[in-house]
């Protein structure tokens, strides 16, 4: 059992030293420790903010979680003393760290951590490692646990140690693989070349021919294994190709079809508007192929393989296995209905040469998932894992979205303008993306990083903007709702479009729109949606200052005799349009009553229903509108059957109506709704 030393750096206590700890005879400097502790060569896989400091208190390195928590750039941190980040962690405490930890003591400190904005955050600082670095410099790993998220200290330390050890094993395996793969290829060359020469010398001998076939096949298997070793060692070479992940998924499944058992069902849920990725198409194909093959092996000939792709924007760090940073991603989910992954091996599955296939008498090198991990990291992405024993496994891959010139090249056919627009978002890449898109569309765009900066612009400088694009989730200072309320006090008629990744902003969006805010755009944003939303907002009749706020909610009438379908469609629509008012009807008669009372902006209607079907209901709505001088709103017809010729003609002759075949994917429905509500 290790001794635990606890210090409180938040209080004015006297200087601490190792002799204060009832071990007066054991004070030692790092140099007196005969065997240096193992130094972790990589710690970036940890979900816990971690700093690396030297014996002088200078910060040498920090992982992604620490950069996010402290809101600092790595280049800035490397020029700072740790006492500038962790208050009162001065030379006396540094001395204590480098004396106590090598003696087998765990050191825990209650401290205040200073973020870039100057905000002080109470934290628990755990000294997790002390050892010598590659250059012989003594270094300490400090893990920062925010007080509001404090867990059992021993569990945190143990979890961190596991993640650091896993990263170190992967790094070391890559080094070893690079050293041996070249020699293996040289040794395999004669084994692959000589069999054909020998065949020419011993023609007509079937026994020798059979032996040569075995040698060739074995050498081929060994060559493929060597290629896996090279893939493990070859890091950072991802290429600059821009490609569609959906096409890669379809190619992988097509290639796997010959080996997929008849008992396995493949389900797709691929986003139709998926943005593009940048990197190596072939390497991402290898990732998807490996994960699919593992899923098929796990199901042992019977089950469901589900492949899903979508655009996502994360408002906050996320992930059970890895900490996924804030940003825009293409999210790929590969799920199976196999037995799941036991908890005791989840931290090992990405280790090189770890495999469970030997237990099931299958052949496997154990390199597949470690290569997957390396490829995803080289693409600056992340991989996460969810698994419940007996309920299958789900691997989730996050690849950063590419904002390549190809996206802005489509701007020619989109609505343009010349107005002044202010972008407000605390995520700097988002500000840059939006400004780039807006400038391509002809607008004069400016960006700020907080609600306070936004208000300062429109107050003290007297600047006026035709439109403000406002993020609703800003963790520093004022959030989007508070900012909007202050904007309207300063400029009562100011037009505002809301944006969010929608992780925790539904109520804020709804409240802001009740107070008069405009369209809501869900991140990640595309140039098409931005262009249409801006023109819709700017081209409306101006508000009269002091008048009652506009009611922004659109009414959507969902008509279907299945209650489950009505609820599902309503949930899908409100996931992106939280201001939408959803009305429901179970048949054509109920739909006619709702149509008269609510005057919906959009109707989603099943064609096969009791009492009055969708075709008859639509005719009734047309007649009612003709009698009252109204225009029939857009109708999205849904059916699981082949539509009649008359129904097909209605859709073909109208630019606003459309027909969707059941089962309807969420993104397909949302795309149709966006088009008809002009979001």
pLDDT digits (tens, 9 = 90+) for 81-139: 999 899 888 888 888 888 776 666 678 888 888 888 777 888 889 887 787 776 678 88
DSSP state of 383: E
Residues 250, 193, single domain; the answer is: no
Is the pLDDT assigned to residue 329 strictly greater than 70? yes
Report residue 265: phi and psi, to 5°.
-105, 135
Q: What is the pLDDT of residue 224?
A: 62
Among 149, 139, 68, which Cα is nearest to 102's? 139
Q: pLDDT band for position 421 (50/70/90)?
A: very high
Alpha carbon of residue 225 to chain centroid: 31
- Give percent of the chain above pLDDT 90: 24
Residue 636 has pLDDT above 90, yes or no: yes
Inter-residue long-range contacts of 224-230, CB under 8 Å, 24+ positions, other chains counted = 225/365, 225/367, 226/181, 226/184, 226/185, 226/188, 228/365, 228/367, 228/368, 228/371, 229/177, 229/178, 229/180, 229/181, 229/184, 229/367, 230/177, 230/178, 230/181
**pLDDT score for 100:** 72
The answer to whether residues 233 and 278 touch, using CB atoms and an 8 Å cutoff, is: no
Whole-number pLDDT of residue 380: 86
- What is the number of other CB atoms lying within 10 angstroms of the CB of residue 292? 22
Distance CA 455, CA 463 (A): 10
What is the structure's pLDDT at 24?
36
Q: Tell me how far apart the alpha carbons of residues 50 and 48 are, in angstroms, rounded to a whole number.
A: 6
Lowest mean pLDDT among 134-138, 383-387, 408-412, 671-675: 408-412
- Does one domain contain both 52 and 141? yes
Residue 254 falls inside a structural domain? yes
User: Can you tell me the mean pLDDT for 59-85?
Assistant: 86
Q: Which residue has the higher pLDDT, 548 or 553?
A: 553
Domain holding 174, by residue range, is 169-233
- Whole-number pLDDT of residue 163: 53
CB 601 within 8 A of CB 555: yes
Instruction: Write the pLDDT tens digit of every residue in 201-258.
Output: 777 788 888 888 888 888 776 766 666 555 554 444 566 788 999 999 999 999 888 8
Dist CA 85 CA 12 (whole Å): 18
pLDDT at 41 over 50: no
CB atoms within 10 A of CB 350: 23
C-beta of residue 534 within 8 angstroms of C-beta of residue 415: yes
Decide: pTM greater than 0.85. Answer: no
What are 230's two structure tokens? 């090279």
Q: Which residue has the higher pLDDT, 63 or 408?
A: 63
The verdict on residue 352 lying in a domain is no
Q: Is 278 within the bounds of a domain?
A: yes
Rounded-to-10 torsion of CA 605, 609, 615, 617: -80
The first and second tokens of residue 43, run together, are 């710690």
β-strands 467-471, 520-522 pairing: unpaired
Same domain assignment for residues 446 and 566: no
pLDDT of residue 203: 77
- Let me know whether 55 and 129 are in one domain: yes
Question: Which span out of 14-18, 87-91, 227-231, 421-425 was modeled with the highest average pLDDT?
Answer: 421-425
629 occurs within a structural domain: yes
What residue has token string 């500038």?
A: 84
Residues 431 and 463 in one domain: yes
Q: Which of 416, 413, 436, 433 is nearest to 425 (CA)?
A: 433
CA distance 431 to 425: 6
Of the pLDDT bands very low, low, confident and very high (cuts 50, 70, 90), residue 34 is: very low
Q: Could you give the percent of the chain with pLDDT greater than 70?
A: 75
Helix (H) or strand (E) holding 187: helix 153-201
Please say if the pLDDT value at position 419 is more than 50.
Answer: yes
Residue 300's domain is classified under what CATH number?
3.30.565.10
- The helix (run of H) or strand (run of E) holding residue 92 is helix 91-100
Please indicate, yes or no, whether residues 225 and 249 belong to a single structural domain of this protein. Answer: no
347 in any annotated domain? no
Across 31-45, 253-267, 458-472, 633-647, least confident range: 31-45
Main-chain dihedrals φ then ψ at residue 53, nearest 5 degrees: -125, 155
Give the Å distances, CA to CA, from 592 to 616, 627, 638, 646: 10, 14, 17, 21
The answer to the question of residue 146 being in a domain is yes
Both tokens of residue 291?
Answer: 């994960």
pLDDT for residue 17: 37
Residue 348 lies inside a defined structural domain of this protein: no
Higher-confidence position of 183 and 451:
451
Q: Is the domain of 328 the same as that of 380?
A: yes
β-partners of residue 2 are none
Q: Tell how many helices (H) and how many strands (E) occur in the chain.
A: 19, 23
Q: Please, which residues have CB within 8 angstroms of residue 676's CB and are 6 or more apart in sequence?
A: 602, 634, 636, 656, 658
Answer whether residue 512 is part of any domain: yes
Contact status, residue 71 vs residue 93, Cβ threshold 8 Å: no
For 572-603, what is each residue's pLDDT tens digit?
888 777 778 899 999 999 999 999 888 899 99
Q: What pLDDT score was predicted for residue 540?
A: 76
* Residues 13, 140 share a domain: yes
Looking up residue 494, the CATH number of its domain turns out to be 3.40.50.2300
For residues 410 and 393, membership in a common domain is answered with no
The residue among 5 and 570 whose pLDDT is bigger is 570
* pLDDT band per the 50, 70, 90 thresholds, residue 442: very high
Q: Which of 150, 178, 206 is the last residue of a domain?
A: 150
**Edge-to-edge strands of the sheet including 496-500?**
444-448, 420-424, 467-471, 496-500, 520-522
Q: DSSP code of 159?
A: H
Split into its structural domains, the chain has a count of 5
- Residues 225 and 251 placed together within one structural domain of the fold: no
Same domain, 517 and 574: no
Question: In terms of Cα–Cα distance, which of 507, 493, 577, 501 is closest to 537?
Answer: 493
> Does 78 share its domain with 182?
no
Q: Residue 36: what pLDDT?
A: 33
């Amino acid at each position: 059992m290790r001794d635990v030393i606890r210090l409180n750096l938040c209080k004015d206590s006297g200087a601490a030293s190792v002799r204060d700890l009832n071990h007066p005879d054991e004070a030692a400097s790092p140099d007196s420790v005969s065997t240096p502790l193992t130094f972790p060569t990589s710690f970036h896989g940890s979900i816990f903010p971690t700093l690396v400091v030297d014996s002088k208190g200078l910060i040498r390195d920090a992982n992604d979680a620490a950069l996010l928590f402290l809101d600092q750039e790595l280049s800035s941190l490397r020029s700072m003393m740790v006492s500038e980040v962790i208050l009162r962690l001065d030379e006396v405490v540094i001395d204590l760290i480098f004396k106590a930890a090598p003696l087998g003591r765990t050191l825990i400190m209650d401290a205040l951590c200073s973020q870039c904005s100057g905000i002080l955050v109470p934290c628990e600082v755990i000294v997790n490692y002390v050892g010598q670095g590659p250059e012989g410099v003594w270094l300490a790993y400090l893990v920062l646990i925010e007080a509001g998220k404090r867990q059992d200290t021993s569990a945190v330390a143990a979890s961190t140690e596991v993640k650091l050890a896993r990263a170190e094993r992967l790094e070391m395996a890559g080094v070893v693989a690079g050293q041996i793969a070249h020699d293996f290829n040289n040794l395999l060359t004669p084994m692959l070349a000589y069999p054909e020469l020998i065949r020419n010398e011993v023609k007509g001998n079937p026994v020798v021919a059979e032996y040569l076939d075995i040698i060739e096949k074995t050498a081929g298997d060994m060559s493929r294994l060597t290629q896996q070793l090279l893939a493990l060692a070859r890091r950072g070479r991802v290429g600059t190709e821009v490609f569609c992940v959906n096409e890669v998924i379809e190619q992988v499944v097509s290639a796997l079809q010959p080996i997929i058992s008849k008992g396995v069902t493949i389900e797709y849920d691929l986003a139709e508007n998926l943005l593009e990725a940048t990197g190596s198409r072939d390497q991402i194909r290898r990732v998807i192929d490996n994960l699919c093959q593992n899923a098929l092996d796990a199901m042992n000939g019977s089950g469901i393989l589900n492949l899903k792709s979508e655009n996502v924007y994360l408002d906050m760090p996320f992930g059970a296995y890895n900490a996924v940073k804030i940003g825009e991603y293409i999210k790929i989910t590969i799920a199976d209905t196999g037995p799941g992954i036991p908890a005791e091996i989840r931290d090992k599955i990405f280790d090189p040469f770890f495999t469970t296939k030997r237990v099931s008498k299958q052949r496997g090198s154990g390199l597949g998932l470690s290569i997957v991990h390396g490829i995803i990291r080289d693409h600056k992405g992340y991989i996460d894992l969810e698994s419940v024993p007996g309920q299958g496994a789900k691997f989730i891959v996050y690849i950063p979205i590419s904002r390549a010139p190809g996206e802005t090249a489509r701007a020619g056919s989109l609505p343009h303008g010349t107005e002044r627009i202010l972008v407000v978002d605390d995520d700097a890449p988002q500000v840059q993306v939006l400004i780039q898109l807006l400038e391509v569309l002809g607008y004069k765009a400016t960006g700020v990083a907080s609600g306070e900066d936004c208000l300062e612009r429109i107050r003290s400088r007297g600047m006026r903007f035709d439109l403000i694009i406002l993020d609703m989730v800003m963790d520093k200072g004022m959030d989007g709702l508070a900012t909007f309320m202050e904007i309207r006090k300063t400029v009562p008629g100011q037009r505002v479009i809301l944006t969010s990744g929608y992780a925790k902003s539904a109520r804020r969006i709804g409240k802001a729109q009740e107070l008069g805010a405009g369209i809501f755009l869900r991140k990640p944003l595309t140039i098409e949606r931005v262009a249409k939303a801006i023109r819709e907002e700017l081209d409306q009749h101006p508000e009269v200052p002091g008048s009652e706020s506009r009611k922004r909610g659109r009414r959507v009438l969902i008509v279907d005799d299945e209650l489950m379908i009505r609820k599902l469609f309503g949930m899908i629509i409100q996931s992106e349009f939280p201001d939408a008012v959803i009305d429901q009807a179970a048949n054509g008669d109920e739909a006619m009553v709702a149509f008269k009372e609510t005057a919906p902006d959009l109707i989603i209607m099943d064609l096969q229903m009791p009492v009055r079907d969708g075709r008859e209901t639509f005719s009734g709505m047309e007649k009612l509108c003709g009698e009252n001088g109204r225009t029939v709103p857009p109708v999205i017809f849904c059916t699981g059957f082949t539509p009649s010729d008359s129904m097909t003609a209605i859709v073909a002759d109208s630019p606003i109506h459309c027909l969707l075949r059941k089962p309807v994917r969420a993104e397909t429905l949302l795309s149709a709704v966006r088009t008809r509500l002009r979001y």
